[in-house]
Structure 1
Amino acid sequence: MLKKFSLAAVAAIVLVACVQSPTGRNQIMLFNDSQLSAMGDQTFETMKAETPVSKDARANDYVQCIASALLRVTPEEYLTNPWEVVVFDSEQVNAFALPGGNIGVYTGLLKVAENQEQLAAVIGHEIAHVMASHSNERLSTNQFIQSALALGDAGTKAYGVRYQQEIMTALGLGAQLGVTLPFSRTHESEADVIGLDLMAKAGFEPRQAVNLWQNMAAASSNNTPQFLSSHPAPENRITELRARMPEAMATFNERKKAGRLPNCRK
């Protein structure tokens, strides 16, 4: 009876919390937007307190110019609160966006992203993570995994299963390789697709996204096999971008005909 009740409870939660991402992919969301926004704001404030903020006016203007162009074509439902864009003085080759409307770009990225288009590919990708509520989905997935493992642990103890510790370790590893990491790779691929569309709509030449990820791969020494990685392999990521390029170029060319392309100077 306990097993049936648990399964029914999980099924009810899934039905209530199931939504779709901007690409139409089904998602499970257990947290509301205000919770995630508050967490994002708190994390961003902590990062600003712990990481030096760049005082280079030109770098700040450059990043702000690109982010503003992308945000102007971001759907209105993601613009209910003003976005804050901060350039962090760090050699990290990275950028991020957090729920609540927070974008961080590290100065190390400006050395790898060679032009406004390539930086737009990264910032668009990070905005896409927020649009697709990937933080909520990741937290929700982890919540389900922890609950399932707790039930499994209780069940094996209750029935006196031999090798209980070994079984639970195997289950934990299986959850990591079979659920958590693939979800993370799905999030990265989905953010690539949404970000490519954003940069094309904003007037940034989308083919530069391929060049950007080639530069990122060259700057990275990470040779972790894809099935053990939270990110898609660079060659797979580039292949997917190229497959999406005809549609992105059509969007970009429409914007180009209108004669309103960004001119953010590095």
Structure 2
Amino acid sequence: MKSFRITLVAISLFLASCATNVFTGERTLKPVANEQIFPAAYAQYDEFLSENKVVTGTAESQMIKTVGGKIKTAAQRWLNAIGHPEYLDGYAWEYNLVQDDQVNAWCMPGGKIVFYTGILPICQDETGVAIVMGHEVAHALANHGGQRMRAGQLQALGQVGVAVAGSGRSQSTQQILNQAYGLGSTTLGILPFSRSHENEADKIGLYLAAIAGYNPEEGARLWQRMKANSGGQAPPEFLSTHPSPDTRIANLRDLAPKAKAEARKYGVTSFK
């Protein structure tokens, strides 16, 4: 009976935690509120910058800021067009280049962005930077951080249900139940959830880059370079938080003409 009640609570919490993605119109997990996330994200960002070497006064650092500004403007134009001009209220945009060999870039909730110098050779130029920038900004705009926090809450509640369901059983049986739940909820739940975020960010990000005037066809080419750089060292897709490079390349190639068509709605007909 206890496990049944907890299951009902979990279902109720899930149903109450649904929202609509304003960019895609699809139903998704309701994120933890910006008001709860932004202050902590901004503090963590400032702490990160204080502990790392921020590159300033170079053409590359200026390029990061220039591209970031264009992607921000594209996002606002898109939001104005779909009837959500207030969506970016509370965002505190910041774009920084950090000296680090990692092939990575990220955007925290609220628009705090970091590019590592290690990703620039793969980006190759401003258009490549725009593809990466659009993708990372899309994660923030789609509230993926807040959704992952909500998913973690639901997963934790499910773990409680498993513990209650296994009460009174042997310790070894309880351990098996816990391990099975952990593997199943991760492989069948959290990982696909994360991969869906990556696919969503690829789409939204490519549209943002195109609206900002950058050629969306560069998306597939960028990921071909990313694949070559990785040397094929990646786990199977079903055990990864990211789609496989080949899946991603195919998706981006398919999305490029759609992104151009979207950009034309804003009067953008030529691409850098």
Partner of 1:23: 24
1:41 Cα deviation after fit: 1.0
CA, structure 1 residues 146+197, in 2 after alignment: closer, same or farther (shift >3 Å)?
same
The TM-score normalised by the length of structure 1 is 0.90
Q: Which moved more, 1:14-23 or 1:160-169?
A: 160-169
Partners of 1:172 and 1:3 in 2: CA distance: 17
The one-letter code of the counterpart of 2:68 is: A
1:92 Cα deviation after fit: 1.1
1:228 aligned onto 2:239: yes
Alignment check: 8 A CA contact 2:104 2:115 kept: yes
The one-letter code of the counterpart of 1:70 is: I
1:105 alignment partner, SS class: strand
Partner of 1:187: 197
1:176 Cα deviation after fit: 1.2
1:163 alignment partner, SS class: helix
The one-letter code of the counterpart of 1:12 is: S
CA, structure 1 residues 217+33, in 2 after alignment: closer, same or farther (shift >3 Å)?
same
Alignment check: 8 A CA contact 2:191 2:240 kept: yes
- 1:74-106 CA distances to partner (integer Å, 9 max, x unpaired)? 134125433011111111111100112201111
1:159 Cα deviation after fit: 4.8
Partner of 2:112: 102
Alignment check: 8 A CA contact 1:205 1:252 kept: no
Partners of 2:217 and 2:258 in 1: CA distance: 11
Partners of 2:59 and 2:172 in 1: CA distance: 64
1:149 aligned onto 2:150: no
2:97 alignment partner, SS class: strand
Q: Given the alignment, which residue of 229, 237, 245 partners 2:248?
A: 237
Partners of 2:73 and 2:89 in 1: CA distance: 9
The one-letter code of the counterpart of 1:247 is: K
**Map 1:91-130 → 2, pairs under 5 A:** 91-130=101-140
Size of the alignment, in residue pairs? 260
1:42 Cα deviation after fit: 2.0
Alignment check: 8 A CA contact 1:92 1:106 kept: yes
CA, structure 1 residues 148+32, in 2 after alignment: closer, same or farther (shift >3 Å)?
same
Partner of 1:140: 150
The one-letter code of the counterpart of 1:34 is: E
Partner of 2:49: 48
Identity, in percent, stands at 30
CA, structure 1 residues 104+31, in 2 after alignment: closer, same or farther (shift >3 Å)?
same
The TM-score normalised by the length of structure 2 is 0.88
Alignment check: 8 A CA contact 1:88 1:104 kept: yes
CA, structure 1 residues 57+162, in 2 after alignment: closer, same or farther (shift >3 Å)?
closer
Alignment check: 8 A CA contact 2:68 2:95 kept: yes
Alignment check: 8 A CA contact 2:210 2:259 kept: yes
The one-letter code of the counterpart of 1:184 is: S
Runs of 4+ in structure 1 displaced over 6 angstroms? none
Alignment check: 8 A CA contact 2:3 2:164 kept: no
Structure 2 stretches of 5 or more lacking a match? 80-84
The one-letter code of the counterpart of 1:189 is: N
1:55 Cα deviation after fit: 2.7
1:252 Cα deviation after fit: 4.2
CA, structure 1 residues 169+92, in 2 after alignment: closer, same or farther (shift >3 Å)?
same
Partner of 2:6: 6
1:30 Cα deviation after fit: 5.4
1:157 alignment partner, SS class: coil
The one-letter code of the counterpart of 1:195 is: G
Alignment root-mean-square deviation, CA: 2.0
Q: Given the alignment, which residue of 85, 90, 93 partners 2:100?
A: 90
Structure 1 stretches of 5 or more lacking a match? none
The one-letter code of the counterpart of 1:194 is: I
The one-letter code of the counterpart of 1:35 is: Q
